[in-house]
Amino acid sequence: MPERISDAPWLFWLLEGLHRTQTGLLQLLYVLGLVAEVDGQPAWPWAQRMAGENLLLDLGLARQLLWSLVALALAVVLLLLACGWRRGRPWLLLGALAAVLLAPWPAPQLLLAPAMPSSFHRNPLPFSDAAIVQGAGHYQRLCLHCHGAAGNGQGVDAARQPVWPPSFVGPLLWRRADGELLHAVRHGLQDREGRQTMPGFAEQLTLEQSWALLHFLRAQAAGELLRVSGNWGQPVALPDMPLRCHRPDKQQVSDWQGQRLRLASTPHPQDLLPDPRMVTLWLPPPGMAVRAIPEQVDCVVTSGTVAQQALGWVQAGSNETLGNVQLLADKAGWLRARNNRDAGSWSDEDLLCRTTDSKEEEAAAAEDALTRILRRMDAEPLGYVRGGRVHR
C-alpha cells in the first residue's frame, strides 16, 4: 500500500485535485452565504465526501477514476467542437456519448466516505512547542485515564469502556483528517447503534485547546513510535519554536523553511563544528543562562523547558529533557534523523524517517554518513497522506 506515494506520483495530483475541488466548492458556497460556520470554519453541508483514502488503498480504483475523468474531459471537448462544426456534429456527439458510456466508472460507494461538518477543517494553530506542551496538559487532565500515559490505549479505565480505546501508536492519527479528529474530541464517538463509545469534550475544552490537543496527540504518538520501533514510522515536523539568531530577520524555526536544520541539545555549543550545509539551532540545557549567541551556531532556542518538553514528546514519547541529542530536519521541515551518542559522529542508522530501505547507498563509502543522510533527505522527500489528502 503506498502510504507514502512516491511509487505513484500521478496519484498525488489526483488526490490533490479532488481535495482542492471539494475545498474550493465549500469556499464558494461559504462566500455565497449558502453554508454556515461550525467550530470556526465553513461547515461541509453533505453527509458524504470523496474518499481519497480509498484511492490510496486501491490503486486500481484510482486508475479507473483517472481514466473516467479523462474520458469526461474528452467528451466535453467533443461537445464544444460540435457547437462550432455543423457538418461533423453527429459524429462528435456520438463520440462524446461513447467516451462517457465506455469510461470505466468506479462504483460510487467506493468513492464516497461518510463526512461531518468539520471534515475539511484545518488545524489553525502552528505545530509549535507551546501548542504541544499545552495539549499535553489537557491530555493528562482529560484523556489519560482511558487512552493511557503512552497513548497506546492502556489507561486505567480502558477495560471499563464499551469498546477498547484505540492505540495512537500507529497510523491511526495520520489516516484521519484533522477536522474528523476534532469532531471526535469535541462531540465524542458512537457505535453503529448510536450508543456512545467515547464522551465529547466540547464543554471542557475551548476550540483552541482542542486543536492544541491534536498537535500533542501526533507529537506523542510519533515519539512513542520512535521509542518502540526505532523509526519515525509516521512523519513528524520539527516543532516551531522561538529563536534568537545572528540574523535579526529569523525569529522562529518556521522562518527557516526551505533550509536543512540541525537542532543540537548540548551544554557545550562551543564544541559544535559549523557545517555550511545546514542551519544550526542550539537548545541550551534547562536553567542555563545564555547571554550571547555562540559563534558556532546560527540561533539559540529561547523557549527553555517548553522546547525541551515538546522535543521530548516527539523523540521519546515523554516530556523528559533531551540530554546530548542532535536532530536533523529536511528542507520541508520534517524530522528525519537523530544522533544521541555523545561523540557527535553520524551513522547510516541515524536516518529514522525514510521512504525506501535501499542499501545501495552503502556503495558510496567514500562519503561520510552525515553526507549520505543529507543526500537521502533531499532525494527522498516525504509525500504522505492524511485523511486522504497528500501533504508534502
Q: Report the residue number, 145 or 391, with the smaller CB distance to ligand HEC.
A: 145
Interface with ligand HEC (CB under 6 A), residue from 5, 51, 82, 213: 213
Q: Report the residue number, 59 or 184, with the smaller CB distance to ligand HEC.
A: 184
Which window, 113-121, 180-188, 239-247, 249-257, contacts ligand HEC (CB under 6 A)? 180-188
* Number of alpha carbons in the 13 Å side-chain half-sphere of residue 205: 28
C-alpha 147/C-alpha 159 separation (Å) is 11
Binding mask 114-143 for ligand HEC (x = CB under 6 A): ----------------------------xx
Q: Does 38 bind ligand HEC (CB under 6 A)?
A: no
Task: Tell the smallest beta-carbon distance from residue 180 to ligand HEC (Å).
Answer: 6
The grid coordinates listed for 146 are: 482511558
Q: Does 15 bind ligand HEC (CB under 6 A)?
A: no
The C-alpha angle with vertex 53 and arms to 185 and 58, in degrees rounded to 5, equals 150
- What are the Cα distances from residue 6, in Å, to 9, 175, 328? 6, 17, 21
Interface with ligand HEC (CB under 6 A), residue from 48, 167, 197, 355: 197
User: Which residues on adjacent β-strands are paired with residue 299?
Assistant: 245, 281
Task: Tell the smallest beta-carbon distance from residue 334 to ligand HEC (Å).
Answer: 22
C-alpha 224/C-alpha 318 separation (Å) is 8
Q: Does 149 bind ligand HEC (CB under 6 A)?
A: no
Q: What is the DSSP string of 239-273?
A: PB-BEEESSTT--BGGGGTTS-EEEEE-S-GGGPP
Task: Tell the smallest beta-carbon distance from residue 116 to ligand HEC (Å).
Answer: 10
Q: Does 176 bind ligand HEC (CB under 6 A)?
A: yes
- Write out the E strands in the chain: 37-38, 41-42, 48-50, 112-114, 189-190, 196-198, 243-245, 261-265, 279-283, 299-301, 325-329, 335-339, 384-386, 389-391
Q: Does 169 bind ligand HEC (CB under 6 A)?
A: no
Radius of gyration of the chain (CA): 24
253 touches 239 (CB < 8 A): yes
Interface with ligand HEC (CB under 6 A), residue from 59, 100, 184, 290: 184
Interface with ligand HEC (CB under 6 A), residue from 2, 45, 126, 166: 166
Q: Report the residue number, 57 or 101, with the smaller CB distance to ligand HEC.
A: 57
* Number of alpha carbons in the 13 Å side-chain half-sphere of residue 333: 17
C-alpha 24/C-alpha 17 separation (Å) is 10
Q: Report the residue number, 181 or 264, with the smaller CB distance to ligand HEC.
A: 181
Task: Tell the smallest beta-carbon distance from residue 231 to ligand HEC (Å).
Answer: 22
What is the contact surface with ligand HEC in residues (CB under 6 A)? Answer: 142-143, 146-147, 157, 161, 163, 165-166, 176, 181, 184-185, 189, 191, 197-199, 201, 213
